Amino acid sequence: AIERTLSIIKPDATNRNLTGKINAKFEEAGLRIVAQKRMHLTKEQAGKFYAVHAERPFYDELCEFMASAPVVVQVLEGEGAIAKNREVMGATNPADAEAGTIRAEFAESVGENSVHGSDAPETAAEEIAFFFAGLEIVG
């Protein structure tokens, strides 16, 4: 089925001017960027987005990092987009990511891992609604 998923190009990647190279990976995999905006999140906004991780030991560091520089938030659309995006991103820890994936090529560490992608249909819907109004998504 055609799905939509929420993607974030993280501060480590925007700092290194990698937005275009990462977007090319999505497009080469058949994902369409149907919404996109660059934002500088506050730590509070990052904390709200990652609320499911609030009890994890890395939560504070994660929120600081996500607010440290601009991010690019995006909606990706395509056949099986949620799983396909996760394939293109590679494993969370770049040391485990397969060759050719975004994290294998660009990520610096498990925390500064260049991209975020929704993990399931329910979270994709929630995460898209967190950042985008319906009218901003142009399929």
In the bound state with ligand CMP, the residue whose beta carbon lies nearer, of 130 and 138, is 130
Query: Closest distance between ligand CMP and the C-beta of residue 117, in Å?
Result: 7
Query: Closest distance between ligand CMP and the C-beta of residue 52, in Å?
Result: 9
- As given in the structure block, the two tokens for residue 57 are 């030991």
In the bound state with ligand CMP, the residue whose beta carbon lies nearer, of 29 and 110, is 110
* Ligand-binding site membership of 86 (annotated): yes
Measured distance between the N- and C-terminal CA atoms of the chain, rounded to whole angstroms: 15
Grouping H, G, I as helix, E, B as strand and the rest as coil, residue 97 is coil
* Ligand-binding site membership of 93 (annotated): no
Q: What contacts 56, CB < 8 A, 6 or more positions away?
A: 62
Give the Cα separation of 102 and 96 in Å (integer).
12
Q: Which residues pair with 51 in a beta bridge?
A: none
* Ligand-binding site membership of 56 (annotated): no
Q: Determine which helix (DSSP H) or strand (DSSP E) holds 33, and give its type and residue range.
A: strand 32-39
Name the residue type at position 80: G
Query: Closest distance between ligand CMP and the C-beta of residue 135, in Å?
Result: 26
In the bound state with ligand CMP, the residue whose beta carbon lies nearer, of 34 and 112, is 112
Give the Cα separation of 12 and 1 in Å (integer).
32
Q: Which of 4, 25, 84, 116 is catalytic?
A: 116
Q: Is 116 annotated as catalytic?
A: yes
Q: Which residues lie near ligand CMP (CB under 6 A)?
A: 53, 58, 61-62, 92, 110-111, 113, 116
* Ligand-binding site membership of 58 (annotated): yes
Q: Supply the residues annotated as catalytic.
A: 116
